[in-house]
Chain A
Amino acid sequence: MSESVPDPILKIDRISKRYGSVQALNNVFTEFFSGEIHAVLGENGAGKSTLVSALAGFVIPDSGEVVFHGQPAPMGHPQRLRELGIAMVHQHFMLVPNFTVEENLALDQIRSLNSPLKLDDLTSRAMELARQLGWEINPKVRTGSLPVGIQQRIEILKALVGDSQVIILDEPTAVLTPEEIDDLFSVLRDLKSQGKAIILIAHKLSEVMSIADVVTVLRKGELIARARIAETNPTQLAEWMVGDLPPSRSESESQVGEVVLSLNEINVKGDRGEVAINGLSLEARAGEVLGIGGVDGNGQLELAEAIVCIRKLDTGSRTSPEKIGYIPQDRQRDGLALSMSIEDNLLAGALEDSNLSKRGLLKSKKIKTWAQKQVENFSIKIGTLSDPVKSLSGGNQQKVIVSRVLSQRPQLIVAVNPTRGLDIKATDFVRTQLAQAAEKGAAVVLISTDLDELAELSTRTVYLNRGQLAESLVGAVSQ
């Protein structure tokens, strides 16, 4: 080893991890150095989370090792790794909202349940660190009442208390306002100047460009590139992240008809009142599959709910058909009543069917026959129709939703990540059904973060970024 190149503090040596049929990480190699901010960049599903989980001991890789200070690190022991000096700041804070700041800090330090609780002793180190960083945090305040940015600082304090040399931050900016992001970045620069190695998980290029010294890019579990930020540029990074897009289905395959859905300059708010969709316009025509790609959390849920008329438009206008079929992303939360029967859950999508009810009265016998036919047509594996729908596997639960949607021959189908969590057979089934529905003349809006799915199904693809549409994914991520 030459003198000019220091040894890495932490090294990931050919790590692989497989989940079922998904290769989350494949022979990934990278090195982290003290006094550097190192961004790990990639799309949803690129393997970033698996990588940092392996680093922090939450995941045990199938092969490969983590080397810390030249020694193999113990895998799968978060607590021991922390004691060695590798700490993680989670994206979802590990704080008790009803505890005060000092109680949360103390909770983190308690090692034994039978020693007397002295809050001051347990928190003095953390409060000292806070003073050094110039933070004024009142230890007596209830944590839940603090702004998110301050809560994150408490998480960072927890990570620093053990004299950690490596701090891993999992998408730390996702929950922050722009001002809070600036504050966080100046803290990270401080820590860097103290000689800490900072590992930052990110998918926003602008942030990576402004804070990181080095970047590692992952795509579908593979190491794509490792570069110094000074020697690269946003376009290059975006191309590394996205790669070559699979070719789209050509439009000539299907007959595109009249406009079925049109959204005009719509603004939509999220559940917490934040702007989720910002001045978006789009049209979908009969017979086409309009793919909407992009990274999760850019307004996908709100857009879908606005299209199917269950979320209020703040401004703008929407023209949508009478018959809309909706395949929500989270089937257990938004799709099914798990305790109710398979028959009832099928019926939930077909209540307006005039064969099944008349003047508000349900035709029980016809419903039973109809439900039986749905189960047969879509080869849903069930015991009996009166079993609760929660007795079915995930794939069969999804088939219940898809079959009830398609049975009504909707003019418009909105599907959000319709194959997430399904095995290959069920995935194929759902995709074939959606493609056939479009061929039969429905307009299908497919909102998906899976680029392969979009390529396979869409006749036209646009990308969603911060509530607005972009023509290309490179355009969407580099904004």
Chain B
Amino acid sequence: MKGALRTLIVFAGLILILAITLALFGLDVGAALSTIWNGAVGSKAGIARSLVRATPLIFTGLGMVVAWRAGMYNIGGEGQYVMGGLASATLALVVRSWAPAIATPALLVGGALGGALFAAFAGWLHVKRGVQVVISTILLNFVAIEFLKFCVRGPLQKSSGGIFQTEALPNTLMLQRFDRQTDFHSGFFLALIVVVIVAIYLYRTKSGFQMRFSGANPDAARASRFEPGKKQILAMAISGGLCGLAGAVDYTGLIGFVGDGFSQDWGFLAIPVALLGNLNPVGAAGAAVYFGGLFAGCEVLQRSEPIGDTIVPLIQGVAVLGVVGMQRWLENRTNQSKGAD
């Protein structure tokens, strides 16, 4: 209950920050907010756009929840997303002749595995070699992005040449779409299913319990024979797997190829999503939908107003800073009122 109230306060605060930002751009705040609102939820197309933006954020946000709950501060969602997309696109070269009912799931599993291995490496470095996971995952982001550039200029480059991207995935292998007018695809439903699975795993299984306990106090987990090191590597693998799955879903559901601009910062935005969701799977899904709507609305605003194309990243940045700042502020308030008791 407290957590829900807190999330509501943060939501409301975000809207206020948003209004101030728009005013600074010299926009009519009321009109601009209503454009964003309509762009996000005002029409079937708007809702579809919001949910499509929310889909990768749900996966990556869940990824952060799992890792951070285990005490592994994974900052490498971006790299894991890229590696997931790349793994999926590589696998596509093999499975393109298979029956779609087998090939498409294989592409998703492949993407998840790609992200999982990439993140598990950072987890292993942390547990066995004492390399802080924060540092290694930040650096591995750069490795992944450079590796992406290399792949789409070399081994995975489209045969017709000239463009730095992979072969387009045949339409038959793409995730199902429900409407010709929108990009909405079945990846969103997959995301919802995964929310439930992750929630069950963390809160209703022995392994998930041991993982959370290991995150809360690794020494006590060791004394209870939970093998916290293994749990933390597993947490990184699951976390990276979810981010990799996000990449694979975007590849098979929305984009259909992997190119230079494949990553849209979904791996980074996952962090405020997880924080806004109180490191809770359902909360993170809610936060992902909220951010998805915000971004979708801002895209419409950008098209309707002569304000240049910086407004979307700017609002993203302001929103993220706002979330982190408000969370911190609320935390301090709670701690202070406890101290006064």
A contact residues, range: 20 to 34
- B219 and A334 within 8 A (CB): yes
> Which residues of A lie under 8 Å from residue B225 when comparing CB positions?
308-310
B207 in contact with A334 (CB, 8 Å): no
Interface check A275, CB cutoff 8 A:
no
Cβ-neighbour of B205 out of A336, A337, A339, A361 (below 8 A): A361
Q: What separation, in Å, do the CA atoms of A333 and B219 have in the docked complex? A: 6
- Which residues in window 330-379 of A have CB below 8 A to B? 333-340, 344, 347-349, 351, 357, 360-362, 364
Kindly state whether residue A221 has any CB partner on chain B within 8 Å: no
Q: Of the candidates A334, A338, A347, A361, which one forms a contact with B223 in the assembled complex, judged by CB atoms under 8 Å apart?
A: A334
Give chain B nearest CB distance to A271 CB in angstroms: 11
Contact of A348 with B205 at beta-carbon distance under 8 Å, contacts A333-B219, A337-B217, A340-B213 already known: no
Q: Interface size bucket, B side?
A: 10 to 19
Question: Which positions 272-298 of chain B face chain A at CB distance < 8 Å?
Answer: none
**Closest partner residue, chain B, to A335 (CB atom):** B220
Task: For the complex, give the distance between the alpha carbons of A31 and B97 in Å.
Answer: 94
> Which residues of B from 197 to 219 have beta carbons under 8 Å from A?
203-207, 209-210, 212-213, 216-217, 219
Q: Mark B142-183, 1 if CB is under 8 A from A, else 0.
A: 000000000000000000000000000000000000000000
Chain A positions within 8 Å of B222 at CB level: 310, 334
Residues of chain B within 8 A (CB-CB) of A308 are 223, 225
A328 touches B (CB below 8 Å): yes
A463 at the interface (CB under 8 A from B): no
- Do the beta carbons of B204 and A364 come within 8 Å of each other? yes
The minimal Cβ–Cβ distance linking B235 to chain A, given in whole angstroms, is 15
Name which residue of chain B comes closest to A331, CB basis.
B220
- From B207, B220, B226, contact of A336 by CB (8 A): B220
Instruction: A340 to B207: give the CA distance in the assembly, Å.
Output: 16
Q: How far is the CB of A200 from chain B (nearest CB, A)?
A: 34
Bound complex: CA A308 to CA B225 (Å): 9
Asked whether A336 lies within 8 Å of B209 as measured between CB atoms, the reply is: no
Using an 8 Å CB-CB cutoff, how does the interface string of B217-249 with A read, 1 for contact, 0 for none? 101111111100000000000000000000000
Q: What 0/1 readout, one digit per residue, does chain B (32-65) give for beta carbons within 8 Å of chain A?
A: 0000000000000000000000000000000000
Q: Which residue of B lies closest to A338 (CB)?
A: B217
How far is B213's CA from A126's CA once the two chains are assembled, in angstroms? 50
Chain B residue nearest in CB terms to A391 = B338
**CB–CB A362/B206 < 8 A:** yes
- Across the interface, name the chain B residue whose C-beta is closest to A347: B209
Known A-B contacts A309-B225, A360-B205, A364-B204; the reply to A339 vs B220 at CB < 8 A is: no
Kindly name the residue among A310, A347, A364 whose own CB sees the greatest number of chain B CB atoms within 10 A: A310
B residues less than 8 Å from A361 (CB atoms): 204-206
**Residues in chain A near residue B207, CB distance under 8 A:** 360
Measured between beta carbons, the chain B residues less than 8 angstroms from A68 are: none
Kindly supply a per-residue 1/0 record for chain A positions 72-110, scoring 1 wherever the CB is within 8 Å of any chain B CB and 0 otherwise: 000000000000000000000000000000000000000
A33 in contact (CB, < 8 A): no
> Which residue of chain B has its CB nearest to the CB of A339?
B216
For the complex, what is the distance from the CA of A59 to the CA of B224, rounded to whole Å? 38
- Whether A326 sits at the interface, judged by CB under 8 Å, is yes
Determine the distance from Cα of A351 to Cα of B212 in the docked complex, in whole angstroms: 13
Shortest C-beta distance, B37 to chain A (Å), equals: 37
**CA of A261 to CA of B212 in the docked complex: distance in angstroms?**
31
Would you call B223 and A337 a contact (CB within 8 A)? Answer: no
CB-CB under 8 A from A339, the residues of chain B are 216
* A 166-191 binary contact with B (CB < 8 Å = 1; else 0): 00000000000000000000000000
Q: Are A335 and B223 in contact (CB under 8 A)?
A: yes
Chain A residues in 8 Å Cβ range of B220: 333-337, 348
CA separation between A347 and B210, bound complex, in Å?
10
Q: State whether A348 touches B212 (Cβ < 8 A).
A: no
- Bound Cα distance from A339 to B212, whole angstroms: 11
Q: Is the CB of B217 within 8 A of A360?
A: no
B200 to A, closest residue via Cβ: A361
Which of B203, B204, B206, B216 contacts A337, CB < 8 Å? B216
Beta-carbon contact of A351 and B206 below 8 Å = yes
B338 (CB) vs chain A CBs: closest residue: A391
From the candidates A305, A340, A347, name the one contacting B216 in the complex (CB within 8 A). A340
Q: A310-B222, A333-B219, A344-B209 are in contact. List 11 more A-B contacts (CB 8 A).
A: A310-B223, A310-B225, A333-B220, A334-B222, A335-B220, A338-B217, A344-B213, A348-B213, A348-B226, A349-B224, A360-B207
Task: Write 22 A-B pairs (CB below 8 A) sorted by A numbering.
Answer: A308-B223, A328-B223, A334-B219, A335-B220, A336-B220, A337-B213, A337-B216, A337-B217, A337-B220, A338-B216, A339-B216, A351-B206, A351-B209, A351-B210, A357-B206, A360-B207, A361-B204, A362-B203, A362-B204, A362-B205, A362-B206, A364-B204
Q: Taking beta carbons and an 8 Å cutoff, which residues of A are in contact with B?
A: 305, 308-310, 326, 328, 333-340, 344, 347-349, 351, 357, 360-362, 364
Give the 7 A-B CB pairs with smallest separation, nearest first: A337-B216, A337-B217, A334-B223, A340-B216, A360-B206, A333-B219, A334-B219
